Amino acid sequence: MRIALDVMGGDLAPKINLEGALSAKAEFPSDVQIVLVGSKTAIEQGLQELGVAIDSFEIVHAEEVIGMGEHPTKAISQKQNSSIVVGYKLLATKGVDVLCSAGNTGAMLVGAMFSIKPIEGIIRPGIAGFIPQTSGKYSILLDVGANADVKPEVLNQFAEMGSLYANYLFGTKNAKVGLVSVGEEEEKGNLVTQAAHQLIKNNKSVNFVGNLEGRDILTDKADVIICDGFTGNVILKMAESLYTIFAERDYVTPFTSLFNWKNVGGSPILGVNGNVVIGHGSSDGIAIKNMLHLAKQLVDSDITSKIQKAYS
Amino acid sequence: MRIALDVMGGDLAPKINLEGALSAKAEFPSDVQIVLVGSKTAIEQGLQELGVAIDSFEIVHAEEVIGMGEHPTKAISQKQNSSIVVGYKLLATKGVDVLCSAGNTGAMLVGAMFSIKPIEGIIRPGIAGFIPQTSGKYSILLDVGANADVKPEVLNQFAEMGSLYANYLFGTKNAKVGLVSVGEEEEKGNLVTQAAHQLIKNNKSVNFVGNLEGRDILTDKADVIICDGFTGNVILKMAESLYTIFAERDYVTPFTSLFNWKNVGGSPILGVNGNVVIGHGSSDGIAIKNMLHLAKQLVDSDITSKIQKAYS
């Protein structure tokens, strides 16, 4: 397996990306290779500073960097030699099995749409987040930001893609899928949610447990929690803030640690022709390491092929 | 001041409503009267069981009860002798200064629209929730469920009404107003939020601090947090669930207790011609007592007149 890491992505790049790559390499089986994408000079210098031989990793040079604040579409089309675009070229040509980056989220999303493209039949890809549950596991929250406005049909596809992913992650054939709304009854919710409820309820490939209220989001009511990317982004970021809030109060437990996004590492894009993980801009070495583990797991899950087959 | 309490509203009515009324009466100044609305027989029997003289409270008889699961519009039009409709008649005729109920939320909302009606110029009234902040205070979250789908103009009015209410509550003239979105930049968000951002930014009666992300909702970025009723409902109920989640882990602190909805007591409707507080269906005596305190505070704030003046 070959995992491409955008070494230039994130607020603390390239140093922490290299640290994370080094930690992950030590934990990975020998048949998992990390391919570092970015400025060859910066990478070699960084590795030397870490006291690591520069031939420890395969390096793919990329001259340019897309900044965190750049306009995604503009940056992707103008910076063809950026680490993100070069990374996507590797992914599109099967040079690597998965691409991960803690860089500009929008650029990562636009890059996926332009290079590997959405799977045929998928209206809109979504970004999957991991939301802690009281049982100690994570549920999948989809979408967490790719689509602020959605059609009901898009939510129905999120339910399908989320099920496929959750079935692998949780070793089940029957992952429970819930729809975020404002009441249990199917007529509750905004117009999009009400229509989506009917589609998902009648979707035989989904084990639909019905609407979830805000109070059900952290309490193991569903393995897959479906909503538009606006609501999902607000939910995920609010949950993430809890770790800091409670850590500042010296309350750190295995449960509160689930809310620490550094332990999750990133969010996969579901519904594109390739494996992609987007990390947090403020990732540190631990977050990068966990992003690489998540990337490996995404390849192991074979989720991209499964979605392609489901829509073929 | 006269506060009407729907004694028949809520899952544990009428017993806990009477307990709550009794506790509040003991704490209120003598010029604050609680008017009990509901079945005279049930109220008198309940008071006797509590060992309280039946003339301790003014009782306004209402023969019928609107159940928690009844269809709001149908129930309000068909049950003219229900405690909610009788309560609204009292409010509309100025027989009381405020109405509160832990009964059917939808019926309370429809009752307000039919009897006291929206303030002229208000497109849609909203329900104000109270969301804990790390500083130990609450911010106002508006809307928490009256309007699952909104127009940008409605969010702009929420910003205005929320400011007026927050200025009273926090003793300021310049309450900070934030708009829930998925990024700080004004072009981030769903279409409604992007348009609302421009309206609120250019609204001179609002001290707009810009977009709030999920991570900013609990961290004192704003005194008034504006969003559609779908997002707000999810945020509020998710926050409320945290109290139970942490209490089950024996972690109860002054901060986590802010998340206990029983300490808040209820949610005022803003934008109608009268003071109304909606309580939680599963309220206990403490929650009812706190709902009555909130009702008193709502009258003290004179918020209804202030909104009426602002739109006259």
Q: Looking at residues B46-74, what average pLDDT do you find?
A: 95
CA dist B153 and B172 (Å) reads 25
Which of B42, B38, B98, B34 minimizes the C-alpha distance to B66? B38
Peptide bond into A14 cis (omega under 30): yes
Please provide residue A214's backbone torsions phi and psi, each rounded to the nearest 5 degrees.
-50, -35
* pLDDT on residue A293: 98
Helices (H), A126-190: 152-169
* pLDDT on residue A279: 97
Which of A70, A73, A155, A230 to mutate: most B Cβ within 10 Å?
A: A230
Which of A133, A238, A248, A259 to mutate: most B Cβ within 10 Å?
A: A238
Element (H, E) at B304: helix B303-310
Q: Looking at residues A307-312, what average pLDDT do you find?
A: 96
Task: Compare all CA atoms of chain B with the CA of A149 and give the residue at the minimum distance.
Answer: B190
Average pLDDT, chain B: 97
User: Which residues lie below 8 Å from residue B256, measured CB to CB, with a gap of 6+?
Assistant: B242, B243, B246, B247
User: Which residues lie below 8 Å from residue B212, measured CB to CB, with a gap of 6+?
Assistant: B178, B179, B180, B181, B221, B222, B225
Q: Quick check: B236 and A214 CB within 8 A? A: yes
* pLDDT on residue A5: 98
In sequence order, the β-bridge partners of residue B130 are B140
**Å between B214 CA and nearest CA of chain A:** 4
Say how many CA atoms lie within 13 Å of A80 toward its Cβ: 1
Residues of chain A with pLDDT > 70, as a percent, come to 100
B236: chain A residues, CB-CB within 8 Å? 214
* pLDDT on residue B258: 97
Which of B238, B245, B246, B252 to mutate: most A Cβ within 10 Å?
A: B238
B245: chain A residues, CB-CB within 8 Å? 134, 218-219
* pLDDT on residue A13: 94
Average pLDDT, chain A: 97
* pLDDT on residue A285: 97
**Å between B215 CA and nearest CA of chain A:** 5
Which of B123, B178, B228 minimizes the C-alpha distance to A149? B228
Helix, strand or coil, per DSSP, at residue B86: helix
**Å between A146 CA and nearest CA of chain B:** 10
Element (H, E) at A119: none
**pLDDT per position as a tens digit, B7-36:** 999 999 999 999 999 999 999 999 999 999
Give all strands of the β-sheet with B176-180 in edge-to-edge order: B58-61, B33-38, B2-6, B98-101, B275-278, B267-270, B126-132, B138-142, B224-226, B176-180, B207-212
- Euclidean distance between the first and final Cα of chain A, in Å? 25
Using a 10 angstrom Cβ sphere, with 0-12 exposed, 13-18 middle and 19 or more buried, the burial of residue A277 is buried
The residues in A 117-176 lying below 8 A from B, measured between CB atoms, are 134, 145, 148-149
Using a 10 angstrom Cβ sphere, with 0-12 exposed, 13-18 middle and 19 or more buried, the burial of residue B205 is exposed
Which of A151, A135, A130, A216 minimizes the C-alpha distance to A181? A216
Q: Looking at residues A284-292, what average pLDDT do you find?
A: 97
* pLDDT on residue B86: 98
Q: Which of A189, A241, A249 sits opposite B148 (nearest CB)?
A: A189
Residue with tokens 């009292």: B90
* pLDDT on residue B40: 97
The residues in A 25-64 lying below 8 A from B, measured between CB atoms, are none
Which pLDDT band holds residue A190 (cuts at 50, 70, 90)? very high
* pLDDT on residue B80: 97
**pLDDT per position as a tens digit, B161-198:** 999 999 999 999 999 999 999 999 999 999 999 999 99
**Å between A204 CA and nearest CA of chain B:** 27
**pLDDT per position as a tens digit, B237-287:** 999 999 999 999 999 999 999 999 999 999 999 999 999 999 999 999 999
B182: chain A residues, CB-CB within 8 Å? 145, 148, 229-230, 233-234
Q: Looking at residues B102-125, what average pLDDT do you find?
A: 97
CA dist B169 and B163 (Å) reads 10
Strands B224-226 vs B2-6: parallel, antiparallel or unpaired: unpaired
Q: Quick check: A215 and B238 CB within 8 A? A: yes
Max Cα-Cα span within chain B: 62
Structure token digits, residue A95: 């040079």
Q: Which of B188, B190, B238 sits opposite A217 (nearest CB)?
A: B238
Helix, strand or coil, per DSSP, at residue A127: strand
DSSP string, A47-79: HHHTT--TTSSEEEE--B---TTS-HHHHHHH-
Task: Compare all CA atoms of chain A with the CA of B192 and give the residue at the minimum distance.
Answer: A149
Q: Quick check: A190 and B236 CB within 8 A? A: no
Which of B109, B144, B179, B182 to mutate: most A Cβ within 10 Å?
A: B182
Which of B160, B150, B218, B220 minimizes the C-alpha distance to B189? B150
pTM: 0.97
Which of B181, B221, B231 to mutate: most A Cβ within 10 Å?
A: B231
* ipTM confidence score: 0.96
Total beta-carbon pairs less than 8 A apart between chain A and chain B:
116
* pLDDT on residue A24: 98
Angle made by CA atoms A116, A118, A121, in degrees to the nearest 5: 140
Q: Which of B134, B181, B238 sits opposite A238 (nearest CB)?
A: B238
Residues of chain A with pLDDT > 90, as a percent, come to 100
A260 near B CB under 8 A: no
A245: chain B residues, CB-CB within 8 Å? 134, 218-219
User: Which residues lie below 8 Å from residue B96, measured CB to CB, with a gap of 6+?
Assistant: B2, B3, B4, B35, B87, B90
Quote helix, strand, coil % in chain B, to nearest 5: 45, 20, 40
Q: Which of A134, A182, A241 sits opposite B233 (nearest CB)?
A: A182
* pLDDT on residue B146: 95
Q: Looking at residues A38-62, what average pLDDT do you find?
A: 96
Contact by Cβ (8 Å): B224, B128 = no
Task: Compare all CA atoms of chain B with the CA of A106 and give the residue at the minimum distance.
Answer: B188
* pLDDT on residue B199: 98
Structure token digits, residue A304: 């991209």
B134: chain A residues, CB-CB within 8 Å? 245, 248
* pLDDT on residue B211: 98
